[in-house]
Amino acid sequence: MKIAVLSLFPEMFDSFLSASILGRARTEGLLDVRPVDIRPYSDKKHKNTDDYPFGGGAGMVMMAQPIVDAVRDLRSQDYAGPCIYLSPRGTPLTQKKVVALSAQEGMILLCGHYEGVDQRAIDLVVDEEISLGDFVLTGGEVAAMALIDAVARYVPGVLGSGESTEEESFSDGLLEYPQYSRPEEWHGKKVPPVLLSGHHANIEKWRREQSILRTYERRPDLLEKSSLTWKEKKWLEETVKEKTVHEEPEDVTECTN
Ligand code: 4GN
């Protein structure tokens, strides 16, 4: 997969692209990621890339000209696939969308800064606007890195035989169960005995239950779409009741009403 990333700070991608799994994927030629500096594309004498917003208001807007010229240059150099602008006002990213993007020949990612990009550049060259979630970053680079990372995992050969895309959060609609490694006891904290039992059916059952409980506590919205058996629904109901009875009484010493 061939990815270009348009940024005013392309050096931000250096260590990200060299480390760990992505570093190896790139040396093996499975992944080609090129951070591209927007500034040289500016027509201005001093290579400015931003200007004041029409209509007033705080901050600066990234000008259309350098961005549109950069994207058109990349298109002429054989960069295919959607041009994606990372922004908090985009369509929320999902694992399904990540998998779909991994089947593309490539992508061109646009990283914004300041108050954002002139709408005319978005209208001309951007195919999709994607958001990682309801939060705001100073620039789109960290969001672009997250997207590249998530997509790369589904590019054939990027994950070794030890790493899988299968049995992780979201693939079965539930959050992951807790993991433990050596030592069996650490600072007085023991590993759940079932995991040391060697009884694989019990281990699977415990993990499934932990996933269900976590999803109930942290992401009840996901639980509605997941396929719990009637037995599992009953178990959850009982376990939640049980938990409420044995819960510590709430600390109200600071409560003033
Ligand atoms: C993306 C970009 C958040 C996201 C961003 C997100 C840069 N913040 N939630 N910041 O995926 C104005 C111009 C803010 C670009 C944008």
Angle made by CA atoms 1, 174, 132, in degrees to the nearest 5: 45
What number does the ligand 1 atom closest to the CA of 132 have?
A: 11
> 254 or 179: whose pLDDT is higher?
179
Give distance in angstroms: CA of 130 to centre of ligand 1.
9
Give distance in angstroms: CA of 109 to centre of ligand 1.
12
**85 φ/ψ angles, rounded to the nearest 5 degrees:** -100, 120
**CB of 66 closer than 6 A to ligand 1?**
no
Instruction: Identify the pLDDT of residue 166.
Output: 73
Closest C-alpha to ligand 1, atom 9: 88
What number does the ligand 1 atom closest to the CA of 86 have?
A: 1
Of 76-80, 194-198, 212-216, 225-229, the range with the lowest mean pLDDT is 225-229
Whether 184 contacts 191, CB under 8 Å: yes
The verdict on pTM exceeding 0.75 is yes
**CB of 87 closer than 6 A to ligand 1?**
yes
Summarize pLDDT for 80-124 with one digit per residue, the tens. Answer: 999 999 999 999 999 999 999 999 999 999 999 999 999 999 999
**CB neighbour class for 174 (10 Å; exposed up to 12, middle 13-18, buried from 19):** buried
**CB of 88 closer than 6 A to ligand 1?**
yes
**CB of 84 closer than 6 A to ligand 1?**
no
Provide, rounded to the nearest whole percent, the portion of the chain with pLDDT above 90.
89
Which tokens in the block code for residue 1? 């997969």
Confidence of residue 146 (pLDDT cuts 50, 70, 90): very high
What are the strands, taking DSSP E only, across 96-228? Answer: 106-111, 128-131, 185-186, 189-190
Mutate to test the pocket of ligand 1, among 62, 86, 141 (most ligand atoms within 8 A of CB): 86
Summarize pLDDT for 166-208 with one digit per residue, the tens. Answer: 755 565 899 999 999 999 999 999 999 999 999 999 999 999 9
Whether 67 contacts 6, CB under 8 Å: yes
From residue 173, alpha-carbon distances to 27, 180, 199, 206, 220 in Å are: 34, 22, 25, 17, 11
Radius of gyration of the chain from its Cα atoms, rounded to whole angstroms: 24
**CB of 193 closer than 6 A to ligand 1?**
no
**CB of 136 closer than 6 A to ligand 1?**
yes
Helices 230-246 and 200-218: crossing angle, nearest 10°? Answer: 70
